[in-house]
A and B are shown apart, each in its own frame.
Chain A
Amino acid sequence: MPQPSPSLPLRLRRGLVAQPVVMTGLAGALALVALALVGDAHIMMALLLAVPLAAVTYVQARRARGEAARLQAEVAETHVEVAEGTLSLPYTSVLNALPDPVMVISAHEPDDLTGRRFVMVNRAGRRILKIQREAGLLVTAIRDPDVLEVVDEALFGGLEGEAVYELGGTQERIFRAYARPLGVGADGGRLALVVLHDETDIRRVERMRADFLANASHELRTPLASLAGFIETLRGHARGDEGARDRFLAIMHVQAERMSRLIDDLMSLSRIELNEHVRPLEDVDLAAAVLDVLDALSPLARDKGVVLDADAPGRGQLIITGDRDQVIQVAQNLVDNALKYSAPGGHIRIRLESGLSAEACVAQRMDLAARLSLLTPDHGPERFAALSVMDAGPGMEREHLPRLTERFYRVEGQKSGEKLGTGLGLAIVKHIMNRHRGGLAVESRPAHGTVFTAYFPMAERRLDKTRDVHNVIQAS
């Protein structure tokens, strides 16, 4: 770090402070004496005035000089502080504390591919690029040809460059990679700095705006057209018909409610998508969440004559890592869906299991059913808690299964009862599960029913406590 010399600015400063005071003081005193000599004023008066002025000037000049000396000492002290601080700055900790991945690349020959190595990667870099080793080949960490190119330009061309770096995977992340030349290292190799700046949020907001407009305008058009039609009728030939008016208002009410549900769903979907790459970290009582949802939905089930049959551990016995509101939304959407497709007198089975491996979570739960994983978590050593909801509804053919989590996808020829769904419920579930690094699977057999299984990674420290603790609670 360059050390600016403290003497130069201080000498300047002292000159600025002290000299004008002396000059003005002297000039004032001389002017008074001259005035007295030239004019006919009392010379004694002039001298009397001039003497204190000279004295004040002298004192001021001294004070200014003292001030400057103090400032000089102060500044010198600060410089020493900075210099000492620089020496003891914990560079490694600073780099590791940075939220953005930072890495230093070293290379010797332009055409030696194995020569390009990362010699330093901070903690964020290790986590995001999944690097375990201290140093290694650059291509094993970053393969993107555009990024490799800007790194090469920084290494061998001395040019600063940037490139968009998309990190695929289930939780897509988008970075801007900045490459900067760092000159030549101690071993004679060329060095370059690569910093990745996370632009996922910005990109997502852009995409969300576009998607929201496209979806909302398309899906809101239908109920809006119907509302407009009824308003026209009510203002026109049905103006005096009270029976028609009540009937139309009832339909308009249903349509308006549908529009508001749709907007709610679109908003919550957008919100979830926006944070999809940020894993929630609260502890959530999954058992309590599911039981609450069942309590809330039991009046609806009773009205429909559907039995909700829950097999879950008691409250406080199954803790997962997640976002409580979103976990509730998953349970709510799945059970709500099952209710929609159940015939009166039907039976819905809700099961909550814990300590399962990812494979066990997607195991067959319904005989002879077509089975598909709609979302598979990235590989990890985790254990999962699985919530499965099985209805005895009409079921679906296999070819519909891959598209179930598409927005507004509806299985042809199926009606979700009198209360039309928004077509977003399962899309919301999928995005929530992805945010939780969990999974979602479906099994279905026409004329027999459907099972949805959502599985969440369990909070690790509670694993042992929750295993094999089950009791059966009947909600009807």
Chain B
Amino acid sequence: MNEHIVKAYEDELNMLTAECARMGGLTEAAVADALEAVVRRDQQVADSVVARDERLDVLQADIERKAIRMIALRQPLANDLRRTVAAMKIANNLERVGDLAKNIAKRTIVIIDSDPMVPLTRSIERMGRLVVTRLKEVLDAYTASDLERAMSVWSRDDEVDEHYNSLFRELLTYMMADPRTITACAHLLFVAKNLERIGDHATNIAEIIHYEITGDEAIATARPKTDDLQRP
């Protein structure tokens, strides 16, 4: 990175990255805790995830405001402009991830009311861990400006999708076998869907990192993606 003559300018840019990283940490914790709430059937953890979401919204608004201010006052070019825009976009994605985590936590409340379904929660846990790992990897790639690491997250998007499809079938089997489980299973299905979408946001962030570092948006078309609608 080139040294900026105005020290405050460089500080402001670093500030944006740092705030995104901090927001990333909070988001990661929210997803991991939401998952734990579902798996361990822990109402308290679920409540804390719901309560913490507001902080993410505030942070996102803050990052956006700072980025806009930066663009207006400093008129960054090339590299710096991309860094600013990337921070803004990543904050948006993280805020969405936070909302999805909150949604998972809210569903826990209904899931706890029903009987435990051990094999299902195990599958959810496996899928959730995979998603948490991807989110962590992509944020590591962001803070380290590591293009290759971001791309390795991006190219492995289908793993989460496969888990989702497998879980979908498993849930259908359960619901058909015992209609009393339908309420809980429907909520678990949304939990799985939310996790899958968090995985998609991680992929989005990988694309933003690619754009930030290379200035090239072309990868979005080249992704090998299995078609969701072909299968249930």
Contact = CB atoms under 8 A, between A and B. Distances in A.
Nearest to A401: B162
B133 A146 contact: no
A400 B133 CA distance: 22
A406 B148 CA distance: 30
B15 interface: yes
Contact of B162 (A132, A143, A376, A402): A402
Given A113-B15, A130-B144, A170-B133, A139 B25 contact: yes
B185 to A, nearest CB: 17
Contact of B126 (A166, A373, A400, A406): A406
Interface in B147-203: 148-149, 152, 156, 159, 162-163, 165-166, 169
A143 B22 contact: yes
A139 B143 contact: yes
Contacts of B139: 143
Contact of A130 (B11, B126, B140, B165): B140
Contacts, number: 83
A123 B90 CA distance: 31
A169 interface: yes
Interface in A197-215: none
B29 A146 contact: yes
A169 B129 CA distance: 9
Contacts of A373: 156, 159
B211 to A, nearest CB: 19
B18 A379 contact: no
B25 A140 contact: no
Contacts of B26: 145
A54 interface: no
Contacts of A398: 162, 165
Interface centre among A137, A168, A402 (most CB of B within 10 A): A402
B25 A168 contact: no
B29 A145 contact: yes
A235 to B, nearest CB: 36
B158 to A, nearest CB: 8
A168 B22 contact: no
A399 interface: yes
Nearest to B168: A399
Contacts of A146: 29
Contacts of B140: 130
A79 interface: no
A113 B28 contact: no
A379 B155 CA distance: 12
Given A144-B29, A372-B159, A402-B163, A113 B19 contact: yes
B117 to A, nearest CB: 15
Contact of A137 (B18, B133, B152, B162): B18
Contacts of A400: 166
Contacts of A137: 14, 17-18, 21
B212 to A, nearest CB: 14
Contacts of A406: 122, 126
Contact of B133 (A139, A140, A148, A169): A169
Interface in A370-423: 372-373, 376, 378-379, 398-403, 406
B98 interface: no
Given A113-B18, A130-B144, A399 B165 contact: yes
B162 A139 contact: no
Given A139-B18, A143-B28, A399 B169 contact: yes
Interface string B25-55: 1101100100000000000000000000000
Interface centre among A139, A146, A400, A401 (most CB of B within 10 A): A139
Contacts of A376: 152, 156, 159
A114 interface: yes
Nearest to B55: A145
Nearest to B126: A406
B58 to A, nearest CB: 14
B47 to A, nearest CB: 17
A398 B26 CA distance: 36
Given A140-B144, A403-B166, A406-B126, A148 B25 contact: yes
Interface centre among B18, B29, B123, B149 (most CB of A within 10 A): B18
B96 interface: no
Interface string A141-182: 111111010000000000000000010111000000000000
Interface in A275-314: none
Contacts of A130: 140, 144
B86 interface: no
A145 B56 CA distance: 12
Nearest to B24: A143
A168 B17 contact: no
B137 interface: yes
Contact of A399 (B24, B149, B156, B166): B166
B132 interface: yes
Given A132-B144, A373-B159, A144 B25 contact: yes
20 contacts: A113-B22, A114-B11, A114-B14, A137-B21, A139-B143, A140-B17, A140-B21, A143-B25, A143-B28, A143-B139, A146-B29, A148-B22, A168-B133, A372-B162, A376-B156, A378-B137, A379-B148, A402-B166, A403-B166, A406-B122
Given A114-B14, A168-B32, A402-B166, 12 more contacts: A113-B18, A130-B144, A137-B14, A144-B28, A145-B22, A169-B136, A376-B152, A376-B159, A398-B162, A398-B165, A403-B166, A406-B126
Sorted nearest first, the 7 A-B pairs with minimum C-beta distance are A143-B25, A140-B143, A139-B21, A379-B152, A402-B166, A168-B136, A114-B15
